[in-house]
Structure 1
Amino acid sequence: MAGFTRVKDVLENYQSSVYEKDVEKFLSSYADDIHMYDCWDSWEVTGVAGLRDMVTGWFTGLSEEGVLLKVMFTDLVVEENSDLAFAHCAVTFAAHNEESGDKLRQITNRFTYCFKKENDVWAIAHEHSSLPINGETGGGIFNLR
């Protein structure tokens, strides 16, 4: 695990590793016993091994499509004490063509993170992404922000 001494360092690593499509760098943001509720495909992911499978598929798909994904955190609120931190924010994922740089699409999700500090290093222990649901269609609403 990388030596993230600030919660902000973990989130910056998240951003850069997604853009670089670097699976191992991405996973370094997470605790080995990560518990994640994601908006895509499955109810939950537990453990870094399960997360590795999910992220590898995600990054492979982006590479095959020729997409660079830029991540932006907005409305970020972080509360922390010596060993635990909590954050919530909106996270925008903007897909750009790898060659031209043209923006292709974007979505914005709501995220909640729980961080824990072990041996003076922060890691994401729990992550929950969510979307508001359209009451008429039952589908997720991705771009209210």
Structure 2
Amino acid sequence: MPTQHEVEEARIREQIDKIVEGIRAKDLKALEQVYTPDVVSFDVEPPLQHVGIAAKLKNWTNVFTFFQDVSYEIRDLTLTVGDEVAFGHGFGRLSGTLGNGTATSGMWVRATFCFRKTGDTWLIAHDQVSVPLDIPTGKGATDLQP
């Protein structure tokens, strides 16, 4: 029989799976269900922070406009689960066909997810996506692989 910790970790992984599925389906309603209304997102595009579910969904709308077909994958996700909060980190990659028909394998980014438990549901209250910085050039290192 699984421990309570294993049950909660499985629930969180189901939420991450919903993000992957929602992005692939370009389904904003599905994505809205995995974030808290007051989510704070430190995404790769400006500004420094995006506050609230509307801002987070606007970021996903931008992605869906940029890509004709889009896929998303998470690799090496590690979770730490408490009673009411949890966090995880791993690597994510958007890929697919751009609006102009060009196929792209995308780039790997570092991803951190912070969850808050509401009832029996784990929702993302904060996320952060970043790329390493090449300090001498001041440019993001977008060609790294996990």
Band the TM-score falls in, shorter-chain normalisation: 0.7 to 0.9
**Offset from partner CA, 1:5-46 (integer Å, 9 cap, x none):** 710011101101111111111121101110110111221100
Question: In the TM superposition, what are the counterparts of 1:1-145 in structure 2 within 5 Å?
Answer: 6-62=11-67, 66=68, 68-96=69-97, 103-145=103-145
Equivalent pairs, count: 135
Instruction: Give RMSD over aligned pairs.
Output: 2.0
TM-fit CA distance, 1:61: 2.6
Q: Identity of counterpart residues, as a percentage?
A: 24
Which residues of structure 1 form unaligned runs of 5+? Answer: none
Which consecutive aligned stretches of 4+ in structure 1 deviate over 6 angstroms post-superposition?
Answer: none
Counterpart residue identity of residue 140, structure 1 = G
Q: Is this contact kept in 1: 2:134–2:140, CA < 8 A? A: yes
TM-fit CA distance, 1:103: 4.5
TM-fit CA distance, 1:78: 0.4
Question: In 1, Cα distance between the equivalents of 2:143 and 2:71?
Answer: 16
Which residues of structure 2 form unaligned runs of 5+? Answer: 1-9
TM-score (normalised: structure 2):
0.84
